[in-house]
Each structure stands twice: as C-alpha cells, then as structure tokens.
Amino acid sequence: MNEATHHLFDAAAFEAMRGDAHLLNVARGAAVDEEALVEALDAGEISGAGLDVFEAEPLPEDSPLWDVDEVIVTPHRVGSDREYWRGVAAIVRGNVDRIREGGEMTNCVV
C-alpha cells in the first residue's frame, strides 16, 4: 500500500460508480475508505460489497460494516483453495522429512 492506493476507493470513487455496482476487495484493506463505503451504501450510490480484507484485521466488533445488509464479510481467506492447502501440505511433509534427517526447515516465519 502506498499513498497512491491508500483509500483509492473513496467517496468520489463511489459517487462515480453505477448504482447497481458492487465493490469486491480481496486486495488490501486500506485501498477502501470504509467510512465512505458505508456512506455510499446507505445513500444507495452502490448496491453492495464483498470484503475479504479490512483496514484493521480482524474487523473490529464495533465496525459498522457488520450491520450493513448489503455487505458480505469473509475472514481474509479468498486465496485459500484446494491447491493452496495442497501446497501447504507439501511444505509440511517436506519439513517433517528434513527434521527427521536433521536438516533445516523451509518457509519458516520467525
């Protein structure tokens, strides 16, 4: 995220969209001005939103997005399909084998 993409979808962007438009954000949470999104939905400027990422994660319990009927909230898992989990399983299997052989694990997050 940089200055050019922070709140890329703001009040002006929502005003420019068609009334039947839906916003889907699976990229970066900060690309969407969440306050402006709620206002645009309340005003009928757009019809709905599907959000998998948010400015603050997890989405705070007091976020107004929870109460907007036209919003579908998902738990930041859009990239998790069968192939993703197969890849994870392959990494784990490889790391178990490396540990058994006295080697170093790969893909460690420290």
What is the set of active-site residues?
A: 28, 57, 76
- Which residues, other chains included, contact 14 with Cβ-Cβ below 8 Å and sequence gap of 6+? 23, 36, 37, 39, 40, 45, 46
22 φ/ψ angles, rounded to the nearest 5 degrees: -125, 135
CA distance linking residue 52 with residue 62, whole number of Å: 17
